[in-house]
Amino acid sequence: MSDDDFELLGLTEIGKLAGVSRQTAQRWHKAPPQHEKNKKPELPSALQKVAKDLGIEVPEAHADRPRYPRVVVEAFLKGIGYMDANGKLVPEIQNKGRGRWLPVKPTIDPASRGRKPTLRYYVPHAAQELGYATTEAFEQARAKGVGPGPDGHDELFRPFWYGDTLEEYKKQRGQRRKKAQPEPDGFDKDGRPYKLL
């Protein structure tokens, strides 16, 4: 890591780096609202969680004017899908508008920094990997308890799966399908299977 990685960024600089407002950067710094309501200030904010995952202490995170090392901010932005693996803002966030937004591609889990990056697959990616025609079909299957449960929720509380989980589920699903189809008793001269009555 270079000295630039530990350059301290305030909320305004974080907003500029991410292409968002200072208020959005402020939300990333504060404890999640549902935890504030429950009086649980010991839970980390999104940026503090990433710092903890990276093993980097950020003493200024609790100050009136918080500052985070650039390496923490970039790992966070890559984790939530605002930056690509090369540290460039993804073009899609420029036009994302208001409301919920899911990354266009799987993102890099901040906890995997320093070793082979572990990718986080969000709903659209998991649906595609598992062969669902639409994201809605995958969501409906999940609501019925079909499919793998998420491996976790990211810093913005969106469910994600690791690639290994999706691959394992595909293998298990393939084995279940094979078992569900009975073996034929034989084949006719055209190669069609038949069952004896």
Residue 68 structure tokens:
């985070």
Phi, psi of 10 (to 5 degrees): -85, 180
Gap between the Cα atoms of 189 and 148, Å rounded: 42
What pTM did the predictor assign?
A: 0.77
Q: What is the DSSP string of 134-164?
A: SHHHHHHHHHTT-SPPPSEE-TTS-EEEEHH
List the one residue out of 163, 162, 16 whose CA is nearest residue 77. 16
Q: Please, what are the domains in the chain?
A: 1-93 (no CATH), 118-183 (1.10.1660)
CB of 75 within 8 A of CB of 14? no
List pLDDT tens digits, range 23-82.
989 989 987 655 455 555 567 789 999 999 888 988 777 777 899 999 999 999 999 999
